[in-house]
Structure 1
Amino acid sequence: MVGELSYLLGLQVKQTNYELFICQSKYAKDLVKRFELNSKKHTKIPISTSAKLGYDPTGRSVDQTVYKSMIGSLLYLTASRPNIAFNVGECTRFQADPKESHLSAVKGSIRYINRTANHGIIYSRESNLDLVSHSDTDWAGNADDRKSTSGGCFYVGSNLVS
C-alpha cells in the first residue's frame, strides 16, 4: 500500500525486474564513523588468514563495553554480509576478557567494512528451486581448547538464504 520496499531496519533494498539487492551500506558507513576508523588504512580481507585468535593471558585488557559494542554492531551487519560472519563469530568468543590482540582483529574487520561498505546480497528472480548446501569444519582448530569450528550455507538455486 505504501509502494516498493526500499529501506527497512537498516537494510537498503533495491528491486529490479530481475533481481533484489539487499545491503547495509549506510549502516556500515555509520559503524566505521562511530568507531573512528574511517581515516585508517583499509584492509583487503576481514581478518588475517595466518593469525589464529586465542586466549591471550599476557595481553593487555581493553574496555569490554567498547569491544562488545563493536561485536554487536558487526553481528547486525552479518544480515547482509555473510562473508564476515566467521570472523565476527571468532571474535565473540573473547567478550568476557578481550585483549588488545582481539580488539585489533575486530578493528581489522571494521576497516574491511569501510573498504567494502557497498557490498550486499543479490537474489535473482530467475533462479531455480534446487536446494544446495555447503559446510566446512576445522577439526580441533581452536588452539586453546581444541574445539572445532563449523559453518555452512544454504542456497535456493543461486540465492543464499542461510
Structure 2
Amino acid sequence: MEFKTEMMRQYEMTDLGLLHHFLGLCAIQTDTCIFFHQKKYAKTLLDKFDLKDCKSVATPLAINEKLSKTDRSEQADESLYRQIVGSLLYLTATRPNIMFAASLVARFMHGPTRKHMRTAKRVLRYIQGTLDYGISYKKGKEAMLIGYCDSDWSESEDDMKSTSAYAFTLGSGVFS
C-alpha cells in the first residue's frame, strides 16, 4: 500500500479500483481467486453471425470428421469465414478448450468451402452451450509446471502428415 501511495505522489494517476474489464476480457476478483471470461464477447459473436438462438452442441468438433483443402462442397464466403475464425482465435484467450478447433479451421483461411464453414459454425454452437467458461486463478495455490503433448497420427488428408503439438503452463490457472 505504501508503494501505491508513493507512486501516486510521484506521478499523476487515479486509482480506479479493481480491474473489471480489459480488452474484452472480464475479471471477477474475490479474496480467493480471479476469474477471467469473455461471456459478453461470445454473446456478441453469436449475435453477429446469426447464431444467437442456435441449438448448442456438446463438442466443438464432430467426431471423426476430417477436413481437407479440397472437398467436393461449394466455396464459402471467404470474408465471413475469416471473421469467424479470427473471432474464435481471440476467444481462446480465456477458452483453451477451443484452441485445437480454432487452429484447425484456421488452416483453411484461403478458399474455404461450405464444409469448413459448417465446422467453424459448429465451434460457435459449442460456445453457445459453454458461455460461462473461463479461467480461474486461485490465490495461494502453488504454481505448478504442467505439460501436455499430442499427435493426430497422419490425420491431415492433404499431406498425410501428423500434427504434433505441446503446451506448457506455469501458474495456478484452472479452466472451468
Shorter chain as denominator, the TM-score bin is over 0.9
Out of 95, 102, 111, the residue aligned to residue 116 of structure 2 is 102
State the identity %: 37
| 1:33-72 paired onto structure 2 within 5 Å | 33-72=47-86
In the TM superposition, what whole-angstrom CA distance separates every residue of 1:5-39 from its partner, at most 9, and x where no partner exists?
Answer: 01000000001111110000000000000000112
- Give the match for residue 127 of structure 1: 141
Contact map agreement 1:21 1:123 (CA 8 A) in 2: yes
**Counterpart of 1:116?**
130
Work out whether residues 12 and 24 of structure 1, in 8 Å CA contact, stay in contact via their aligned partners in 2. Answer: yes
Q: Are residues 46 and 57 of structure 1, via their aligned partners in 2, closer, same or farther at CA, if it must alter by over 3 Å? A: closer
Structure number with greater Rg is 2
Check conservation: 2:144, 2:171, Cα contact below 8 A: yes
Aligned to 2:34: 20
**1:11 aligns to 2:43 (yes or no):** no
The number of residue pairs the alignment matches comes to 161
Using the TM superposition, give the Cα deviation of residue 152 of structure 1 relative to its aligned residue in structure 2, in angstroms.
2.9
Structure 1: give runs of 5+ residues left out of the alignment.
none
Query: Of 86, 99, 105, which aligns to 1:85?
Result: 99
Give the Cα separation in 1 of the matches to 2:163 and 2:93.
20
**2:69 counterpart SS class:** coil
RMSD after superposition: 1.6
Does the 8 Å contact 1:154/1:160 carry over to 2? no
